Amino acid sequence: MSRPRIVLVRYDEIGLKGKNRSFFESRLIDHIRRKLADMEGVRYRRPRGRILVDIDETQVDECVRRLRMIPGIVSFSVGVPIRPDVDSIAELGIQWIEPLLASGKPLTFYARTQRSDKTFPITSPDFSYQVGAKILQKLHDKGLSAEFKTPEFVLEIEIGHEETVAFQGRVPGIRGLPVSSGGEVLTLLSGGIDSPVAAFMVIRRGCRSHFVFFDNQAFLGRGGFDKTHRLAKIVNRYQWGGRLCVVPFGNLQTAIRDLCTPAHRVVLYRRMMYRIAHALAEKYGCLALVTGESIGQVASQTLENLAAVSCTVPLSVFRPLIGMDKKDIIDEAKKIGTYDVSIEPHPDCCSVFMPPNPAIRSKVDQLEADEERYPWKDLMREAIENMQVFDLDRS
Contact set with other proteins (CB under 8 A):
217-221, 223, 254, 257-258, 262, 344-347, 350-352, 355-356
Q: Which is nearer to other proteins, 121 or 345 (CB)?
A: 345
By the 10 Å C-beta count (0-12 exposed, 13-18 middle, 19+ buried), 6 is classed as: buried
Q: Which is nearer to other proteins, 108 or 254 (CB)?
A: 254
User: What DSSP letter does each residue of 267-283 carry, written as one string?
Assistant: HHHHHHHHHHHHHHHHH
Q: Which is nearer to other proteins, 337 or 355 (CB)?
A: 355
Least distance from C-beta 375 to other proteins, angstroms?
19
β pairing state of 184-188 and 164-168: unpaired
In the sheet with 316-318, reading across from the earlier edge strand, the strands are 316-318, 288-290, 184-188, 208-215, 243-248, 388-391
Question: Quick one: residue 337, left, alpha or beta (phi over 0 = left, psi -120 to 50 = alpha)?
Answer: left
Q: Which is nearer to other proteins, 179 or 256 (CB)?
A: 256
Least distance from C-beta 341 to other proteins, angstroms?
13
**Bridge partners of 78?**
7
Least distance from C-beta 346 to other proteins, angstroms?
6
Q: What is the DSSP code (8-state) at residue 248? A: E
Q: What is the DSSP code (8-state) at residue 51? A: E
Tell me which amino acid residue 103 is: S
Least distance from C-beta 256 to other proteins, angstroms?
12
- The rounded distance, in Å, linking the Cα atoms of 335 and 330 is 9
Q: Which is nearer to other proteins, 119 or 351 (CB)?
A: 351
Least distance from C-beta 359 to other proteins, angstroms?
14
- The rounded distance, in Å, linking the Cα atoms of 174 and 35 is 15
Q: How far is CA 283 from CA 79, 89, 190, 320, 384, in A?
A: 45, 56, 21, 23, 11
Closest CA to 52 of 185, 161, 129: 161
Q: Which is nearer to other proteins, 78 or 260 (CB)?
A: 260
Least distance from C-beta 235 to other proteins, angstroms?
23
Q: Which is nearer to other proteins, 75 or 217 (CB)?
A: 217
Q: Which is nearer to other proteins, 286 or 349 (CB)?
A: 349
Least distance from C-beta 219 to other proteins, angstroms?
5
Query: Coil, strand, or helix at residue 81?
Result: strand
- The rounded distance, in Å, linking the Cα atoms of 378 and 281 is 19
Q: Which is nearer to other proteins, 299 or 350 (CB)?
A: 350
- The rounded distance, in Å, linking the Cα atoms of 104 and 101 is 6
Least distance from C-beta 342 to other proteins, angstroms?
14
Least distance from C-beta 383 to other proteins, angstroms?
18
Burial 25-34 (b: 16+ CB within 10 A, else e): bebbbbbbeb
